[in-house]
Amino acid sequence: SGSLTTHVLNTATGLPAAGLAVHLARLQEPGTRWTELAQRWTDEDGRCLPLLAPGQAKAGTYKLHFDTAAYWQGLGHTSFYPFVEVVFTITDPSKKLHIPLLISPFSYTTYRGS
């Protein structure tokens, strides 16, 4: 059954982004209130434990919040983006969902991975 994973790559160095905080929240519909479901930190490979374990996913709107400012400060840099939020919809909770994030101090990119 489905799960949700992510990983973060520092494209300025070409290395995984270790020690970056990641929060997962679900939109309470109808409305605009978000409920936090999980918080993780990336490991030395830029990955963390699944944010939704197999069987935990439900159809709905979610967001991943990446604390990029603290990560860049820890490396002695400033960044233009204090955080990155990726909002997405789970339509089929039985599918595995992987959302990578590529970051530099002045840009970011994300995509639906496999």
- What domains, with CATH codes, occur in the chain? 3-110 (2.60.40.180)
Binned average pLDDT, 10 residues per bin, the chain of 114 residues = 91 97 94 94 97 90 97 95 97 94 97 90
Annotated binding-site residue? 40: no
Q: Tokens for 82?
A: 């204090």
Distance from the Cα of residue 38 to its chain's centroid? 11
Annotated binding-site residue? 111: yes
Q: Tokens for 108?
A: 């970011």
Report the SS3 class of residue 69. helix
Phi, psi of 74 (to 5 degrees): -60, -25
Question: What pTM does this model have?
Answer: 0.94
Instruction: Say how many Å lie between the first and final Cα of the chain, rounded.
Output: 14
Annotated binding-site residue? 47: yes
